[in-house]
Amino acid sequence: MKLPDVWSRATPVFDDQHLVSCAGLVPVMGLAERAGLSDLIAERVALGATRVASAGVNPAGKLTSIIAGMAAGADSIDDLDLIRSGGMPQLFGGVYAPATLGQFLREFSHGHALQLASVFRAHLVNLVRHTDLLPGIGEQAYIDIDSLLRPVFGHAKQGASYGHTKIAGKQVLRNGLSPLATTLSTRHGAPVLAGIRLRAGRAGSGRGAASMVTEAIRVARAAGATGEVLVRGDSAYGNSTVVSACLKAGARFSLVLVKNSSVTRAMGSIPDHAWTPVHYPGAVLDPDTGGLISDAEVAEIEFTAFATTQQPVTARLIVRRVRDRARLDELFPVWRYHPFLTNSLQPAPVADITHRRHAIIETTFADLIDGPLAHLPSGRFAANSAWAICAAITHNLLRAAGTLAGERHAVARGATLRRTIVTVSARLARPQRRLVLHLPAHWPWAYAWQTLWNQVFRHGLPPPITA
């Protein structure tokens, strides 16, 4: 591609009132309304008396404006101004300025954030009912829990403190805020967020995990998970409170255990003949020996965990061991052991593969960090908490829109959905008083875009859900 010299004499002018930069917001926000987003907000979010008289007015319009801006790529309050450019105010009613939206967020308290969190959970359930967002949820559902540390800067961030995070495999201290999140996925469905809760940076990874797991299981059941629900997590969540929450809610668990003395004794009691090689998906066979290149092996033993607490649990201790490649010159093989506790009914090798898929939650974190959670923009903790919940609503909404757009978009990254579906330029016209969007010719993803449009507006979906 070569740029002609004529452009050196061209004059760019930002003056077109009929040009739309994010035409994909029309079907995406149409889907949000089909799932009852505005009605849910109007019913459940009430700010009451505010410091600025007009700040708490019309929370439904202001929150949907924030979500629309996030869906278009905004990662700060100032970026929300993109929904007011060109012909966007002609497509949507009640578009607010960033200053108004920032003032609205600063009026939030912890209680208001809880109100918004209830909207988030109900909206996810409605999206699942309207779309094929979680295929196979009635047979098997997976809930994954983990936390991340988002760095913040300056001295005006409420709740910001130094916490541990891992960068390039090394533990480092970072000043930030720590969201705790749960995801809901199925065997064939990409993960969606079932819950998110903002915490101080110094909060332990497992703080509040039991209540988060309980909420996520309740959301999964409401969304149609009538079969088995499996909760997965790393060692920060392998404790008696989380396991008890899973059992009380009727879910199975697969949680990593810290290698204390009792776990070490149990691993040492496993006989040598009990170890079974694991054939991971995509594992490579050695062309010379015909064996697996991966030397991971698993074994299991019955184990009573948390024996010193008031809630001991007897379940299967499944141990994966991997040859320590840094010590191949030892006289005897040196292994690294990774134990997890589960009450799953799957054979040990299959249970290990299922447990290791817990890493799927990292793809959701990557989407959030590459999108609206790139920053936590306010100095007030409750405002940032509301921002995180809006980011979660946006993530689930984009995932549902991708499901309607087609099979390839159903598992696409958030950045891909924004680039191919949302941020599509269009010219707004009104021939014979009909709204017409003229989109780019030869758009590579025109079929997926049109499919989404037809599903939302051409009776592909049932009528809007009322709160």
Confirm whether 240 is domain-assigned: no
Confirm whether 28 is domain-assigned: yes
Q: Cα–Cα distance between 333 and 168 in angstroms, integer?
A: 27
Q: Cα–Cα distance between 455 and 152 in angstroms, integer?
A: 40
The model's confidence at residue 290, banded by pLDDT at 50, 70 and 90, is low
Please report which helix (H) or strand (E) contains residue 323, including its range: strand 313-323
Q: Cα–Cα distance between 449 and 24 in angstroms, integer?
A: 8
Tokens of 51: 């410091």
Is residue 369 classed as helix, strand or coil in its secondary structure?
A: helix
Confirm whether 285 is domain-assigned: no
Q: For 325, how many CA atoms within 13 A lie in the half-sphere containing its CB?
A: 4
Confirm whether 344 is domain-assigned: no
| Predicted structure pTM score | 0.93
Please report which helix (H) or strand (E) contains residue 241, including its range: helix 240-248
Confirm whether 74 is domain-assigned: yes
Q: Cα–Cα distance between 229 and 391 in angstroms, integer?
A: 25
User: What pLDDT score does 328 carry?
Assistant: 62
Q: Percent helix, strand and coil across the chain, each rounded to 5?
A: 40, 20, 40
**Average pLDDT of span 166-194:** 89
Confirm whether 155 is domain-assigned: no
Domain extent at residue 47: 24-130+379-467
Closest CA to 228 of 307, 143, 122: 143
pLDDT digits over 410-454, tens only? 999 999 999 999 999 999 998 888 888 999 999 999 999 999 999
Instruction: Return the residue matching tokens 């079929």.
Output: 447
Confirm whether 210 is domain-assigned: no
Confirm whether 430 is domain-assigned: yes
Average pLDDT across the chain, whole number: 90
Number of domains observed in the structure of the chain:
1
Is residue 45 classed as helix, strand or coil in its secondary structure?
A: coil
Q: Is 326 exposed, middle or buried (0-12, 13-18, 19+ CB in 10 A)?
A: exposed
User: What pLDDT score does 289 carry?
Assistant: 60
Instruction: Kindly calculate the radius of gyration of the chain based on its CA atoms and give it in whole angstroms.
Output: 25
Q: Cα–Cα distance between 235 and 99 in angstroms, integer?
A: 42
Tokens of 244: 């008890």
User: What pLDDT score does 153 carry?
Assistant: 87
Strand spans (E) along 223-268: 228-233, 252-256
- pLDDT of residue 58 exceeding 70, the answer is yes
Percent of the chain at pLDDT > 90 equals 70
